[in-house]
Amino acid sequence: MRLSFFVNEEPVTLDTDPQRRLLDILREDLGLTGTKEGCSEGECGACTVLMDGLAVHSCLTLAAQLQGRHVTTIEGLEKNGELDILQRCFVEEIAIQCGFCTTGMIMSAKALLLKNPDPSPEEIRTALSGNLCRCSGYVQIVNAVSRAAHEMGGAQ
């Protein structure tokens, strides 16, 4: 099918099988390998991206669902060479170890903060419940999201 949608605010037009996964389109066709595959079934969250501002598993999102949509990947967060506040907070709060879950974790956190700019630690944990990290106990990840929310102005 002929497909037109947006990735990181850039228009993308592709001729592709409607059953292809968004994950494969991003990684193989567009070279956006920051989105990772960890389980292929929506359990681990490593492939999380935003679609029209909502967190989705790109391994469970098919090409046919993309028409006209706005997809944001981890590569779309950095602006003018500056990491997004969330990305920077993940670095500075020591919330990154092996890093394989990190990009998906940041995208889920981004979706949370778009909806709820001042989440409690419990709300952060709930929002990240679909993102698995094997290296940590999630403590620094929750701290990073809290701090990013605070730095972005929280509820104000």
Partner 1 sequence: MKLVGTQQPIHDARGKASGRLRYACDLTYPGMAHLAMVFSAIPHGYVTSIDASEALAMDGVYAVLHAFNTPEYRFNHYRTQFQSAQDLPLEECVFQRYVRFTGDRVAVVAARDEETARRAAALVKVEYEKLPCALDFDQALSGIHCLDGKSPIEDEGTMTVGTPQPDEAEGIQITVHNELSRLHHAAMETHACVADYDPDEDELTIRSPSQAVFGIRTVVADMLSMPYNRVRVVKTTMGGSFGGKQEWMLEPVCAVAAKILKRPVKLVYDRAETMRSTYCRAAMRGDLRGTFRKDGTLLRLDLDILLDAGAYVGNSLDYVRAPFGKFFRCYRVPCATLHSRVVSTNTTPSGAFRSWGVAEYYVFMEHLLNKASEVLGIDPVELRLKNVLLPGEMDIKMGLPVEEARTRECLLQGAAHFQWEEKRREDARFNASSHRYKRGTAVACAGHTNTYYTRFNDFAGVEARMCDDGTVQANVSIHDHGCGTVQAFKMILAEELELPTDLIRMKEADTACTPYDYGCFSSRSTFVVGRAVQECGKNLRREICRSAAQMLHVPEDQLYLQEGTVRWQNNDQVSLTYEQVSQWTILNLRKELFADSRYHNMSNPTVTGTHFARVEVDTWTGLTKVLDYLAVHDVGQAINPAMCIAQTQGAVQMGCGAALREQMTISPDGRSVNSLAKYHLMNAPDLPDIQVELIQDGPSQEGPFGAKSIGEVGMAPVAAAVAGAVNQALDADLQVIPMDPDRIVEYITKRGY
- Residues near partner 1 (CB under 8 A) are 24, 27-28, 32-41, 43-44, 46, 73-75, 78, 83, 87-88, 90-92, 94, 96-103, 106, 121-122, 124-126, 128-142
Give the 3-state secondary structure of residue 122. helix
* CB of 19 or CB of 156, closer to partner 1: 19
Q: How far apart are CA 98 and CA 152, in angstroms?
A: 26
Other C-beta atoms closer than 10 Å to the C-beta of 106 total 27
Interior CA angle at 38 toward 18 and 19, to 5°?
5
Give the 3-state secondary structure of residue 68. coil
Report in angstroms the alpha-carbon separations of 69 from 51, 54, 113, 127, 129.
Answer: 7, 11, 20, 23, 25
* CB of 116 or CB of 136, closer to partner 1: 136
Minimum CB separation of residue 64 from partner 1 in Å reads 16
Minimum CB separation of residue 78 from partner 1 in Å reads 6
- Which pair of structure tokens corresponds to residue 58? 């790109």
* CB of 27 or CB of 147, closer to partner 1: 27
* CB of 24 or CB of 118, closer to partner 1: 24
Minimum CB separation of residue 125 from partner 1 in Å reads 4
Minimum CB separation of residue 22 from partner 1 in Å reads 14
